Amino acid sequence: MASRLLRGAGELAAQALRARGPNGVAAVRSMATRGGIPTDEEQATGLEREIMLATRKGLDPYNMLAPKAATGTKEHPNLVPSITNKRIVGCICEEDNSAVIWFWLHKGDAQRCPNCGTQYKLVPHQLAH
């Protein structure tokens, strides 16, 4: 058993010596383009890759980030993106409240939360694909 371990270690050392370049630095072999472990961007495909590229450009194609805060007044309502004519919205009326007030938000003028009066407005949103 010990002889197999020593022989395996000797083979690895010999490979490392053969892999050295002309300047004496060991060459790194890898499946990744720059050597080492591939990054998430190098491994991502399909929808995951599309989301990563859009995020890098500063876009949010699938509305995954938190919405921009607004005052919630009639003049400056909270904008809620939707790909349909209506969307269900949950309002936490007070910061330390554990209850969520759910209501339907329809396309058109701004609507208010039935509990606290915060204004919300539905805005059209186009998917990236």
φ and ψ at residue 101, rounded to 5 degrees: -95, 115
Q: What is the DSSP string of 41-77?
A: HHH--HHHHHHHHHHHTT--TT--SPPPP---SSSSP
Q: What is the CATH number of domain 78-124?
A: 2.60.11.10
Classify residue 36 by burial, with Cβ atoms within 10 Å: 0-12, 13-18, 19+: exposed
| pLDDT tens figures, 56-112 | 888 877 767 767 778 888 899 998 888 889 999 999 888 888 899 999 999 999 999
Prediction pTM value? 0.53
Task: Compute the mean pLDDT over every residue in the chain, rounded to the nearest whole number.
Answer: 78
Residue 128 is given by DSSP the state -
* Higher pLDDT pick, 2 / 94: 94
Question: What are the residue ranges spanned by the domains of the chain?
Answer: 2-56, 78-124
Q: Judge contact between 26 and 19, C-beta under 8 A.
A: yes
